[in-house]
Structure 1
Amino acid sequence: MSDDDPEVADLEGTVTWSELLAEATTRFERAGLESPAIDARRIVEEVTGSEPSEFHRVLDTAATARGVASFDRLVARREGGEPLQYVVGRWGFRHLDLMVDRRVLIPRPETEVVAGLAIEEVVARSGAGREVVVADLGTGSGALGFAIATECAAARVLATDRSPDALAVARANLAGLGRAAGRVSLHEGSWFDALPMSVRGAIDVLVSNPPYIGDDEELPAVVGEWEPSEALRAGSVGDENLQTILDGADEWVVPGGAVVLEMAPDQTALIADRFRAAGWQASIHSDLAGRDRAVVARKRG
Structure 2
Amino acid sequence: MVESASGYAGADFLVALDRPAPPRPARALAAMVERRVSGEPLQYVVASWGFRTLDLFVDSRVLIPRPETEMVVEVALAELARLSDLAATSPTLPRECRPWPGHRPQWASGEPAAEPVLVADLGTGSGAIALALAAEVARATSLEVWATDASSGALAVARANLAGLGGWPATRVRLSQGSWFVALPDRLRGRLALVVSNPPYVSQAELATLPHEVAGWEPTDALVAGPSGLEAVAQVVSGAPGWLGRPGTLVVELAPHQVDAVALLASRAGFTEVAVHPDLAGRPRALVGRI
Range into which the TM-score falls when normalised by the shorter chain: 0.7 to 0.9
Cα distance in 1 between the residues matched to 2:182 and 2:270: 24
Deviations 1:109-147 (A, max 9, x none): 000000111111223334334421000000000000110
Which of 145, 152, 156 lines up with 1:164 in the alignment? 152
1:287-298 to 2 correspondences below 5 Å: 287-298=279-290
Higher relative contact order (CA 8 A, sep 6+): 2
| Equivalent residue number for residue 244 of structure 2 | 253
1:35-50 to 2 correspondences below 5 Å: 43-50=1-8
1:60 positional shift: 2.2
Matched, 1:215 2:208: no
1:56 positional shift: 4.7
3-state SS of paired residue (2:227):
coil
Cα distance in 2 between the residues matched to 1:208 and 1:231: 12
Matched, 1:200 2:189: yes
Cα distance in 2 between the residues matched to 1:74 and 1:231: 25
Is the contact between residue 125 and residue 132 of structure 1 (CA under 8 Å) also seen in structure 2?
A: no
1:96-175 to 2 correspondences below 5 Å: 96-126=54-84, 127-128=100-101, 129-130=112-113, 131-152=116-137, 153=139, 154=141, 155-175=143-163
| Equivalent residue number for residue 176 of structure 1 | 164
Cα distance in 1 between the residues matched to 2:220 and 2:174: 25
1:279 positional shift: 3.4
Q: Normalising by structure 1, what TM-score?
A: 0.82
* Equivalent position amino acid for 1:190 in 2: S
Identity of aligned residues (%): 50
Deviations 1:168-206 (A, max 9, x none): 111111111222111111110000111000000111000
| Equivalent residue number for residue 232 of structure 2 | 241
Is the contact between residue 90 and residue 97 of structure 1 (CA under 8 Å) also seen in structure 2?
A: yes
Which of 265, 271, 278 lines up with 1:286 in the alignment? 278
Q: Normalising by structure 2, what TM-score?
A: 0.85
Is the contact between residue 6 and residue 13 of structure 2 (CA under 8 Å) also seen in structure 1?
A: no
Is the contact between residue 215 and residue 235 of structure 1 (CA under 8 Å) also seen in structure 2?
A: yes
1:61 positional shift: 1.6
- If you compute each CA radius of gyration, which structure gives the higher value, 1 or 2? 1
Which of 248, 265, 278 lines up with 1:274 in the alignment? 265
3-state SS of paired residue (1:107):
coil
Q: How many residues align?
A: 257
3-state SS of paired residue (1:67):
helix
Is the contact between residue 269 and residue 284 of structure 1 (CA under 8 Å) also seen in structure 2?
A: no
Q: Which sections of structure 1, spanning at least 5 residues, go unmatched?
A: 1-42
Is the contact between residue 262 and residue 293 of structure 1 (CA under 8 Å) also seen in structure 2?
A: yes
Cα distance in 2 between the residues matched to 1:50 and 1:263: 38
Cα distance in 1 between the residues matched to 2:14 and 2:240: 51
Cα distance in 1 between the residues matched to 2:186 and 2:268: 26
Q: CA RMSD in A?
A: 1.4
